């Protein structure tokens, strides 16, 4: 769970009151903060989770949740009332559950098919039945579906791996948890992950057997993920690369299954074994489960409002891979937002929509419902224009207020959040007032940091902006400093050190919000607006943006079209 930008999503889910971060911390066996050598905007938490413990932890949390009834069964149909809104859902056994809102979160199970070489069968992941009838019935009620593809790597028996030939990848000494409620003092890394690499022999085996690959033979028609391709796709696409990095990761503490991350494949079983045995440390590897590709149906997200409700079917929401995304984190983020909005709608309250300047969750959903996606969508920090504002370390400062207003953050947690916020502001104000004189002690400290000595008095906040000076190191000359929590010190250092850059992005975000505040009536007739190009009329009529800002981000709508639209609205 986690990784570049994905870790941001998990922390945002937690800040809003979602369960993923807490459950991940309860089942985590190794923590690593990625990109430590880069700026804080791209620091991303990634953790190896015990798969079965996480499943049991989350299931139990659901069973204990007040106001939630858990019922297991296969849904095969969504029934609508006379006005085209959700009326009920039907199980395979014929039971009908009356409801005014339903969320489709089918992952990769919707009419799914598993492919291993020449073999294929209708199945979901881990041999679970596919949701075939539901796919057919969703089409019948007007949901536009398309075909995507993803894959999973092989599982290897730990006992058969020669770890002496692998690179160790230890966890962090100082652990950052996913949840802002988790005490890092109680956490520890319980395993060590490893790295191995493909080689010329691996690539030769793949190239010699491409004629047997369903990916290149045409049997797989679904569109796969650009940023997480199969190993055979990597070898063909990046033919100039001598090797590809693979991550050797345990599935959990109570199993010997090892996950060979980066080695997903749809090659035949015998070819997969040759490929695996060509890897350093895997010469005698015992394959416990083959890698396989999986094709599945998913919805075109352009059919959705930013609330994730279908535009043409009231009360029907989509979430996760059903909306064309990849990964657990993107799925959880959408599930939370769809759930919040379904509940708010039934309560008669205003919908909850995060914009691009507030959260990666906002960027994710806006990209989906405004631009759509022709491949499984993966969140990356580069997708956000405001990534210095949307850091993983400040997700609570950005979103906890929303979570509290919605009702997902407890009063106790909210009180702790307000205390943290107050301590940060007080410490920043103190550093702004505190002036260091050009004394021998101060100059010696600066020289020890590799920084230039001062000749006049300088504010502590100005010294902290110097590249080689850290908040922790300044304790040597800051005699007034009081003891503060680590997360408070982290926020003080980042916000002071990057103040100029942050203020610049805040101004950009304010300009963005002005465009977002210019709302477009739902019933506007784009065909009647003189001056709009034909493509713009078609795209605007299909997507029906809620604001000028959203309209400006639609592919095929030019700045000139936006100007025409603004003049029309002003009239």
Own/partner pairs for 482-491, CB < 8 Å, 24+ apart? 484/423, 484/427, 485/420, 485/423, 486/184, 487/180, 487/393, 487/420, 488/420, 488/423, 488/424, 488/427, 489/427, 490/393, 491/393, 491/394, 491/397, 491/424
Closest CA to 144 of 296, 308, 299: 299
Which pLDDT does position 376 carry in this prediction? 92
Which pLDDT does position 401 carry in this prediction? 97
Alpha carbon of 92 to those of 72, 107, 110, 319: distances in Å?
A: 11, 19, 15, 22
Q: Is the dihedral of CA 150, 154, 158, 163 positive or negative?
A: negative
Which pLDDT does position 555 carry in this prediction? 87
**Phi/psi zone of residue 281: left (φ > 0), alpha (ψ -120 to 50 degrees), beta?**
left
Instruction: Report how far residue 232's alpha carbon sits from residue 292's, in angstroms, rounded to the nearest whole number.
Output: 12
Instruction: Report how far residue 18's alpha carbon sits from residue 395's, in angstroms, rounded to the nearest whole number.
Output: 13
Secondary structure class of 46 (helix, strand, coil): strand
Instruction: Report how far residue 484's alpha carbon sits from residue 420's, in angstroms, rounded to the nearest whole number.
Output: 10
Contacts of 519 (CB under 8 A, 6+ apart): 546, 547
**Tokens for 212?**
């047997």
Instruction: Report how far residue 414's alpha carbon sits from residue 403's, in angstroms, rounded to the nearest whole number.
Output: 9
| Under 8 Å between Cβ of 101 and 107 | no
Which pLDDT does position 227 carry in this prediction? 63
pLDDT digits (tens, 9 = 90+) for 9-59: 999 999 999 999 999 999 999 999 998 888 898 899 999 999 999 999 999
Q: How many CB atoms lie within 10 A of CB 3?
A: 20
Instruction: Report how far residue 413's alpha carbon sits from residue 17's, in angstroms, rounded to the nearest whole number.
Output: 10
Which pLDDT does position 480 carry in this prediction? 87
Instruction: Report how far residue 571's alpha carbon sits from residue 568's, in angstroms, rounded to the nearest whole number.
Output: 5
Instruction: Report how far residue 362's alpha carbon sits from residue 145's, in angstroms, rounded to the nearest whole number.
Output: 23
Which pLDDT does position 24 carry in this prediction? 96
For 51-69, give one letter per residue: b (16+ CB within 10 A) or e. Answer: bebbeebbeeeeeeeeeee
Which pLDDT does position 226 carry in this prediction? 67
| Under 8 Å between Cβ of 92 and 85 | no
Element (H, E) at 41: none
Instruction: Report how far residue 102's alpha carbon sits from residue 316's, in angstroms, rounded to the nearest whole number.
Output: 5
DSSP line for 280-291: TT-TTPPEEE--
Q: What is the CA radius of gyration of the chain?
A: 26
| Under 8 Å between Cβ of 395 and 490 | no
pLDDT digits (tens, 9 = 90+) for 351-361: 999 999 999 99
Pairing status of strand 155-157 against strand 167-169: unpaired
Secondary structure class of 428 (helix, strand, coil): helix
| Under 8 Å between Cβ of 154 and 251 | no
Instruction: Report how far residue 65's alpha carbon sits from residue 87's, in angstroms, rounded to the nearest whole number.
Output: 25
In degrees rounded to 5, what are phi and psi of residue 121?
-155, 155
For 140-151, give one letter per residue: b (16+ CB within 10 A) or e. Answer: ebebebeebbbb
- pLDDT in 10s for each residue of the chain, 571 residues: 999 999 999 999 999 999 999 999 999 999 999 988 888 988 999 999 999 999 999 999 999 999 999 999 999 999 999 999 999 999 999 999 999 999 999 999 999 999 999 999 999 988 899 999 999 999 999 999 999 999 899 999 999 999 999 999 999 999 999 999 999 988 999 999 999 999 999 999 999 999 998 877 777 776 766 667 889 989 999 999 999 999 999 999 999 999 999 999 999 999 999 999 999 999 999 999 999 999 999 999 999 999 999 999 999 999 999 999 998 999 999 999 999 999 999 999 999 999 999 999 999 999 999 999 999 999 999 999 999 999 999 999 999 999 999 999 999 999 999 999 999 999 999 999 999 999 999 999 999 999 999 999 999 999 999 988 999 999 999 988 989 999 999 999 999 999 999 999 999 999 888 888 999 998 899 999 989 999 999 999 999 999 999 999 998 899 899 999 999 998 8
In degrees rounded to 5, what are phi and psi of residue 299?
-90, 150
Q: Is the dihedral of CA 210, 216, 220, 223 positive or negative?
A: positive
Which pLDDT does position 147 carry in this prediction? 95
In degrees rounded to 5, what are phi and psi of residue 176?
-110, 115
CA quadruple 43, 368, 102, 143: dihedral, nearest 10: -150
In degrees rounded to 5, what are phi and psi of residue 157?
-75, 125
Which pLDDT does position 449 carry in this prediction? 92
Alpha carbon of 331 to those of 188, 223, 284, 336: distances in Å?
A: 27, 18, 37, 9
Strands of 303-343, DSSP E: 316-318
| Under 8 Å between Cβ of 25 and 48 | no
Instruction: Report how far residue 564's alpha carbon sits from residue 264's, in angstroms, rounded to the nearest whole number.
Output: 48
Instruction: Report how far residue 446's alpha carbon sits from residue 513's, in angstroms, rounded to the nearest whole number.
Output: 41
């Amino acid at each position: 769970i986690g990784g570049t930008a994905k870790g941001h999503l998990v922390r945002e889910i937690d800040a809003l009151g979602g369960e993923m971060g807490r459950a991940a911390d309860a089942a985590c066996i190794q923590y690593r903060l990625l990109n430590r050598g880069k700026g804080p905007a791209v620091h991303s938490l990634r953790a190896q989770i015990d798969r079965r413990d996480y499943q049991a932890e989350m299931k139990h949390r659901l069973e204990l949740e007040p106001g939630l009834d858990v019922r297991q069964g296969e849904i095969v149909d969504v029934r609508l009332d006379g006005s085209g809104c959700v009326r009920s859902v039907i199980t395979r056994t014929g039971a009908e559950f009356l409801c005014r809102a339903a969320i489709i979160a089918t992952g990769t199970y919707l009419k799914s098919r598993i492919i291993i070489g020449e073999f294929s069968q209708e199945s979901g992941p881990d041999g679970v039945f596919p949701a075939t009838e539901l796919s057919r019935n969703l089409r019948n009620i007007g949901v536009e579906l398309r075909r995507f593809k993803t894959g999973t790597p092989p599982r290897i028996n730990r006992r058969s791996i020669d770890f002496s030939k692998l690179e160790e990848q230890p966890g962090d000494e100082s652990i950052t948890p996913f949840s802002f409620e988790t005490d890092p003092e109680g956490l520890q890394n319980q395993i060590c992950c490893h790295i191995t690499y493909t080689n010329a022999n691996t690539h030769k085996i793949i190239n010699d057997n491409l004629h047997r690959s369903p990916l290149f033979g045409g049997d797989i028609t679904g569109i796969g993920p650009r940023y997480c391709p199969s190993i055979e796709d990597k070898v063909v696409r990046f033919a100039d690369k001598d090797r590809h990095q693979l991550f050797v990761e345990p599935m959990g503490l109570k199993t010997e299954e090892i996950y060979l991350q980066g080695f997903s494949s749809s090659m035949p079983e015998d070819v997969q074994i040759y490929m695996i045995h060509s890897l350093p440390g895997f010469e005698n590897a015992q394959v416990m489960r083959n890698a396989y590709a999986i094709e599945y149906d998913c919805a075109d997200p352009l059919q959705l409002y930013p609330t994730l409700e279908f535009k043409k079917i009231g009360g029907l929401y989509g979430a996760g891979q059903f909306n064309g995304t990849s990964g657990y984190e993107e799925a959880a983020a959408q599930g939370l937002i769809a759930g919040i909005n379904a509940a708010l709608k039934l309560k008669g309250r205003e919908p909850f929509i995060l914009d691009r300047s507030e959260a990666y969750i906002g960027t994710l959903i806006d990209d989906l419902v405004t631009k759509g996606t022709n491949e499984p969508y993966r969140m990356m920090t580069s997708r956000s224009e405001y990534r210095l504002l949307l850091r993983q370390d400040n997700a609570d400062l950005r979103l906890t207020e929303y979570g509290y207003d919605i009702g997902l953050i407890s009063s106790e947690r909210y009180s702790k959040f307000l205390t943290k916020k107050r301590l940060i502001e007080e410490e920043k104000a103190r550093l702004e007032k505190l002036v260091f004189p050009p004394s021998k002690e101060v100059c010696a400290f600066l020289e020890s940091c590799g920084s230039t000595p001062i000749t006049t008095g300088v504010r502590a906040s100005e010294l902290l902006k110097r590249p080689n000076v850290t908040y922790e190191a300044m304790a040597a000359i800051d005699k007034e400093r009081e003891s503060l929590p680590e997360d408070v010190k982290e926020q003080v250092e980042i916000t002071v050190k990057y103040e100029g850059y942050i203020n610049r992005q805040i101004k950009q975000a304010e300009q963005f919000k002005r465009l977002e505040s210019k709302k477009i009536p739902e019933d506007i007739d784009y065909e009647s607006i003189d001056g709009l190009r034909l493509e713009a009329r078609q795209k605007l009529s299909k997507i029906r943006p809620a604001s000028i800002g959203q309209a400006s981000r639609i592919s095929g709508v030019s700045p000139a079209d936006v100007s025409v639209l603004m003049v029309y609205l002003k009239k």
